[in-house]
Amino acid sequence: MGGAERGTLMRIDRQRLEEAFEALGKIGETPKSGLTRLALTDEDKRARDQLVAWMRGAGLRVSVDRMGNIFGERAGSESLPPVMMGSHVDSVPTGGKYDGQLGVLCALQVIRTFNDRGVRTRHPITLVIFTNEEGARFQPAMIASGVMAGKIALGDAYNARDRHGIRLVEELERIGYLGPEPCAPRPIRAYLELHIEQGPILEEEGCTVGVVEGIVGISWSRLTLHGVQDHAGPTPMRIRHDALAAAADVIRAVRAIPGQVCPEMVTTVGRLEVSPNITNAIPGRVFMTIDIRDPKDKHVTGALGLLARAVKDAASREGVLTELERSWQVSPISFHPEVVGAVERAAEALGCRSRRILSFAGHDAQYMATLGPSGMIFVPSRHGRSHCEEEFTSMDDIEHGANMLLLAALELARQV
């Protein structure tokens, strides 16, 4: 796209975007204006149905693949691989309304703007909504883009079970989103995802938008500690094998790992299940998850070594048995210079104050980057908060991000 064309600076319709955001945000809304819309629940189905209706209303050819990923294609003037734009509409429990669905709605708004202006592009433009990005209900996160990228086997994804033992494939079928299209690697011209930052950097530095350079490596582990369940009264301290006491040692050790490896690293024990979980019994069994993230694979590997050592030490101190299993790992990725460049040029054209930034949150773009040139746009998160009901991004910032998405998509899809 030449400077003259960019000079016209096509803009999205902010009010229409705001209206769609309000309407979609009602589906699964919590009393505190957050969102609980776990993947493949009735709320997820309602949100999907609404989006499919809007996509059809925008003239898109809608299809669904075997993982329930939804695609809405706007034809290009040539038969070429599409520029894909999108994100996810599932949420974590008591999460916010911006994580995921903002990227989907901005992409939809960009397409509506192209329709209103009669824009034609050489490459088709496809809106994509990925299934179960969060990994809150079915593990791992980004499971459906993982299958699409050929990194996760379809059978493994179908057999992922939620906490009640329900299989992902059963829920896909139940809500009517077990589609016929293959979920497999396919050619793309580019993949673009707008998302909230979910951290404090853009706000701290007074930036309106972030030009995302890449995503850190993520590793998930599962640990079960088997102690001896016994009475909390008559059992002397000297003969106890308390699974929760050992777990507490592991939690402290996990928290200390970044200090030993790299100051940028982050580690989290986010899930803990204690059995029998009553006041007057020594815990016989504890299950926990460990999440490790770092820009470098070798740091993640080092952290996993320290984790294994900490588990061994805690187990021998308390005399408990342990099972430590690495359940998911995704390598750090750098986004494609052409897409990063398109995003940066869009920020410049709009006069947005931006900076380059690395994502510490996982996104479907991480797997899409293995299929073709990919990149992301970040908009600031108030106080850096996310995965909580307080999540918020101002409409001014969202509007800038959406207009950047529009310009970057136009450049990559080659306006005719």
Beta strand 285-294 pairing with 266-268? antiparallel
Site for ligand GLV in 223-242 (CB under 6 A): none
Q: Locate 405 and state its tokens.
A: 């998405």
Q: Locate 194 and state its tokens.
A: 């707008």
R_g of the chain, CA atoms, integer Å: 23
Q: How far apart are CA 28 and CA 383, in angstroms?
A: 24
90 sits near ligand GLV (criterion: CB under 6 A): no
**Minimum CB separation from Mn ion for residue 379, in Å?**
12
**Minimum CB separation from ligand GLV for residue 391, in Å?**
12
Q: How far apart are CA 144 and CA 365, in angstroms?
A: 12
Binding mask 73-112 for Mn ion (x = CB under 5 A): --------------------------xx------------
Binding-site member from 39, 85, 108, 141 for ligand GLV (CB under 6 A): 141
Helix or strand (DSSP H, E) at 61: strand 61-64
Calculate ∠ Cα 135-304-324, nearest 5°. Answer: 70
134 sits near ligand GLV (criterion: CB under 6 A): yes
Tell me, letter by letter, the H, E, C secondary structure of 24-40: HHCCCECCCCCECCCCC
Binding-site member from 28, 217, 295, 362 for ligand GLV (CB under 6 A): 362
Binding-site member from 67, 269, 346, 361 for ligand GLV (CB under 6 A): 361
Q: Which residue, 25 or 362, has its beta carbon nearer to ligand GLV?
A: 362
Q: Locate 112 and state its tokens.
A: 């509506």
Report how many residues bind ligand GLV under the rule CB under 6 A: 4
**Minimum CB separation from ligand GLV for residue 165, in Å?**
23
**Minimum CB separation from ligand GLV for residue 291, in Å?**
7
**Minimum CB separation from Mn ion for residue 61, in Å?**
26
**Minimum CB separation from ligand GLV for residue 414, in Å?**
32
Report how many residues bind Mn ion under the rule CB under 5 A: 3
Q: How far apart are CA 169 and CA 213, in angstroms?
A: 34
Q: Which residue, 43 or 134, has its beta carbon nearer to ligand GLV?
A: 134
68 sits near ligand GLV (criterion: CB under 6 A): no
- The strand ranges marked E within 277-353 are 281-282, 285-294, 321-330, 333-334
Q: Which residue, 211 or 361, has its beta carbon nearer to ligand GLV?
A: 361
Beta strand 281-282 pairing with 61-64? unpaired
Task: Please choose which of Mn ion, ligand GLV, none residue 141 contacts, taking the beta carbon within 5 to 8 angstroms, the exact cut-off set by kind.
Answer: ligand GLV
Q: How far apart are CA 14 and CA 323, in angstroms?
A: 52
On the 0-12 / 13-18 / 19+ scale of CB atoms within 10 A, 396 is: exposed
Q: Which residue, 208 or 359, has its beta carbon nearer to ligand GLV?
A: 359
Task: Please choose which of Mn ion, ligand GLV, none residue 349 contacts, taking the beta carbon within 5 to 8 angstroms, the exact cut-off set by kind.
Answer: none
- What region does 258 belong to: left with phi over 0, alpha with psi -120 to 50, or beta? alpha
- For ligand GLV, the binding residues (CB under 6 A) are 134, 141, 361-362
- For Mn ion, the binding residues (CB under 5 A) are 99-100, 134
